[in-house]
Amino acid sequence: MSDPAHTPSSTPPAEPPLALLVGSTALAIMLALLAMLGPFSIDTYLPAFPAIRASLQASPLEIQQTLTAYMFSFAVMILWHGALSDAFGRRNIILVSLGVFALASVGCALAPSIEALWLFRMLQGISAGAGVVIGRAIIRDLYAGAAAARLLSLVTMIFSIAPAIAPIMGGWIVKHLDWRAIFFMLVAYAVLLLIYCYRRLPETLPPSRRQPFRPSALYRSYKQVFLSPLFHLKGGTVAFNFAGMFLYVAAAPVFLVEHLGLGPDQFGWQFVPTVAGIFCGALTANRLAGRIALARQIAIGFTLLLGAAGINLVYHLLLPPALPWSVAPLFFYTFGMSMVAPVATLMVLDLFPAIRGIVASCQSFTQTLLGAVIAGVMAPILSHSPVSLALGQLGCTLIAFMLWHGGAAWRRAHATGDAQETWAAERER
């Protein structure tokens, strides 16, 4: 259905002159480094929980609440990063967020009590999500079509390194230094990234294209996005595919320790194939962008997703959990997930070109919210059995598959001839 934000002039050329200020590979690295703030903020300090508990004389529950404080503030603030960047510019909000994150990390490193650590972890959460949200808007500001899909998949590919190295780095630091050194490392990372972005990150949203930061305007924008069926259909595709993977992440302590009999130092059995699939899928999507029809790329991705989830279920129905067969399907699942995500994400951003920052925030919020439901409700319910976990993963993927095709059917039924929708429909075909 047409909306006022859809105008032919809002679609940028595939390679606008501004993109030449920083090469596409350099931009991908920069945006991936910004997105890495999230996993570095979580995964690096997890091995330090016992040391923090002893140092601050806190209970295990109080230490766990440092993660809860971070995730809560991250989820709430992620709704606003895009709106702020639509009003005040992409570059400005990223620079301010990096500064806030650096100061919050200093506070975490010097925290004299568990209550102070809660406070500064919340401040970290408020600022850490800006790179993920605004990075998507920056890509779509500069690129269109295959070029945008290629760049987004490259960012994903580089970003996938972070979850692999973060817990290793954190474990090494806490073993040889002190838990506070982990947060000082985050300070150094944020400051260096701030300097890099200050020197190299261009402003991709000129003042003439910015939106007013007024409650009434914001209310209309958020209402427009959240009441859009296509937003929920296309965005839900990405979110539910992610949920199928995140279900196993949330259930890892039970799945690996109780069902597979592994120790806490053997979590790599699940983690390595998961990250490898994300990396290889993003690499494949990067190479295929512009070479095959997007509909075919989506079909290949869902073939891998449904095939991996189905084989995972059949195996655990017939045989007891065992290595490597219980974790091998995760590689193919995340491979397919990384092929579908770039195309669906760009189509979500293209629904409202004038407020892409807000759209990116809303998409990230819905995915984070669904992830919280998976971690807090579904994983505890399903983790008692490998069969239940496999059923949950297959269910998430089937929902994503139905949402994707529901979005295509909705667009065909509500075609208006609008230039933006015509362009998007051509991309889907």
Residues 247, 174, single domain; the answer is: no
pLDDT band at 425 (very low <50, low <70, confident <90, very high): very low
- Predicted confidence band at 27 (pLDDT cuts at 50, 70, 90)? confident
Instruction: Give a yes or no: residue 223 inside a domain.
Output: yes
Q: Is residue 3 in some structural domain? A: no
In a domain, 8, yes or no: no
Are residue 237 and residue 327 in the same domain, yes or no? yes
Same domain (yes/no): 48, 195: yes
Model pLDDT, residue 23: 63
Domain boundary among 159, 180, 204: 204
Per-residue buried b or exposed e for 311-330, using 16+ beta carbons within 10 Å of the residue's own CB: bbbebbeeeebeeeebbebb
Which of 167, 185, 204 terminates a domain? The answer is 204
Residue 424 has pLDDT above 80, yes or no: no
State the Cα–Cα distance between residues 340 and 428, nearest whole angstrom.
Answer: 12
Q: What counts of helices (H) and strands (E) characterise the chain?
A: 20, 0
Query: What sections of 227-355 are H helices per DSSP?
Result: 229-250, 252-254, 268-288, 294-318, 328-349
What pLDDT is recorded for position 64?
67
227 shares a domain with 322? yes
How far, CA to CA in Å, does 37 sit from each of 61, 122, 135, 233, 428?
24, 14, 12, 29, 33
Residues in the chain: 429
Q: Which domain covers residue 385, as residue numbers?
A: 214-429
Question: Is 218 found in the same domain as 154?
Answer: no
Domain with residue 189: its CATH number is: 1.20.1250.20
Sign (positive or negative) of CA dihedral 198, 202, 204, 208: positive
Residues 141 and 268 in one domain: no
When pLDDT is averaged across residues 45-62 and rounded to a whole number, the result is 80
pLDDT attached to residue 119:
92
The answer, yes or no, to whether residue 255 has pLDDT greater than 90, is no
- Asked if 105 and 246 sit in the same domain, the reply is no
Provide the pLDDT for residue 60: 72
* Domain assignment present for 7: no
DSSP 291: T
pLDDT at 222 > cutoff 70: yes
- CA–CA dist 189, 37 (Å, integer): 9
Report the number of distinct structural domains present in the chain.
Answer: 2
252, part of any domain? yes
| Residues 141 and 238 placed together within one structural domain of the fold | no
Quick one: pLDDT band at residue 191, thresholds 50, 70, 90?
very high
* 56 shares a domain with 184: yes
**Percentages (nearest 5) of helix, strand, coil residues in the chain:** 80, 0, 20
Same domain, 151 and 293: no
Number of Cβ atoms within 10 Å of the Cβ of 357: 33
**28-48 pLDDT tens trace:** 888 888 988 887 887 777 677
One-letter amino acid of 119: L
Residue 11 lies in a domain: no
Q: What angle do CA 402, 427, 91 make, to 5 degrees?
A: 100
Residue pair 335/280 in contact by the 8 Å Cβ criterion: yes
For residue 12, is it within any domain? no
**Mean pLDDT over each residue of the chain, to the nearest integer:** 81
Q: Which of 350, 261, 355 is nearest to 12 (CA)?
A: 350
pLDDT band at 132 (very low <50, low <70, confident <90, very high): confident
Mean pLDDT score, 324-328: 90
Phi and psi, residue 287, nearest 5°: -75, -30
- Given a cut of 70, whether residue 266 has pLDDT beyond it is no
The answer to whether residue 2 sits within a structural domain is no
- Residue 2 pLDDT level (bands cut at 50, 70, 90): very low
pLDDT on residue 419: 42
- 426 with 374, same domain: the answer is yes
Give the three-state DSSP class for 385. coil
Closest Cα partner for 374 from 71, 32, 66, 15? 71
CB count, 10 Å around CB of 187?
A: 18
Of the three residues 204, 229, 247, the one that is the final residue of a domain is: 204
Q: How confident is the model at residue 428 (pLDDT cuts 50, 70, 90)?
A: very low
Specify whether 84 is located in the same domain as 225.
no
Instruction: Answer yes or no: are the C-beta atoms of 331 and 221 closer than 8 Å.
Output: no
